[in-house]
Amino acid sequence: MDDYPPLASLSLTHVHYNPADRISYLCAWLALVPQGLCVVYATLIWSNREIEIMLMFAGQLSCEAVNWVLKRLIKEERPKEMHGKGYGMPSSHAQFVTFFSLTLTLFLLLRHQPHPTLTHTPFSFAQRAMLSLVSLLCAAAVASSRVYLSYHTPKQVLVGSAAGAVYAIFWFVFTSALRRTGWVDWALDTQIARLFRVRDLVMQEDLVDSGWVRYEERRLRRWADLGKKGI
């Protein structure tokens, strides 16, 4: 056995919690939300090829890069109760979920303009506001869980949330400028975008509704044809 090197642990989803505390157990699951959101990003990008989702994911990754730089500039340790590796200021979990929830909120309330003739069942503004509120509350729950599990101090979580919020606003303004100046349209017309069928529909169509009207028309035509055949 002495011939083998010591093994290391891949701690991507390794979370310390108190097994006797149900809230601690719940917080451990909340700690996995950023990884889950990355899976959601990848799935939506691959299945829908929406430029808006790609822009949001690019902002999410760059927000993580900012967090990496901030941690190494500030170099503040985690709470003494936590023996994990890495610096604690600002909280990357808090920054991640705040960026996601606020970016989604800005999109739903300011950028998303569902067209009644293109969308079968468009979300009303009130429904989009409610969805935004749920997203923000979930982000607050994830951020709070980091304090409960002693991975971060309240200050580290608050700074992480503030950094995520500031970057979300910056990214929304930046991508709005890209749209306004025509850079997004230019990118969509490039050969590589056309090759991968990148599209820009969720500005006016709900993501789950995209293609539904075409499917309904096809389904009704099929039933009409069967009716003509007496089936």
pLDDT digits (tens, 9 = 90+) for 83-113: 556 777 899 899 999 999 999 999 988 888 7
- Structural domain includes residue 9: no
**Residue type at 84 in one-letter notation:** G
Question: Percent of the chain beyond pLDDT 90?
Answer: 38
In a domain, 178, yes or no: yes
* pLDDT, averaged across the chain: 84
In a domain, 141, yes or no: yes
Q: 212: pLDDT confidence band, cut at 50, 70 and 90?
A: low
Q: Is residue 54 part of a domain?
A: yes
Predicted local confidence at residue 63, as pLDDT: 95
Q: Per the domain annotation, does 129 fall within a domain?
A: yes
- Cα dihedral sign for 147, 144, 68, 89? negative
- Residue 6 within a domain: no
Give strand pairing partners of 199: 50
Q: Mean of the pLDDT values across residues 122-126?
A: 76
Please state the domain count of the chain: 1
Query: Domain range for residue 115?
Result: 22-206
Residue 122 has pLDDT above 80, yes or no: no
Q: How far apart are CA 126 and CA 169, in angstroms?
A: 22
- 3-state DSSP of the chain: CCCCCCCCCCCCCCCCCCCCCHHHHHHHHHCCHHHHHHHHHHHHHHHHCEHHHHHHHHHHHHHHHHHHHHHHHHCCCCCCCCCCCCCCCCCHHHHHHHHHHHHHHHHHHHHCCCCCCCCCCCCCHHHHHHHHHHHHHHHHHHHHHHHHCCCCCHHHHHHHHHHHHHHHHHHHHHHHHHHHCCHHHHHHCCHHHHHCCCECCCCCCCHHHCCHHHHHHHHHHHHHHHHHCCC
Position 151 in a domain: yes
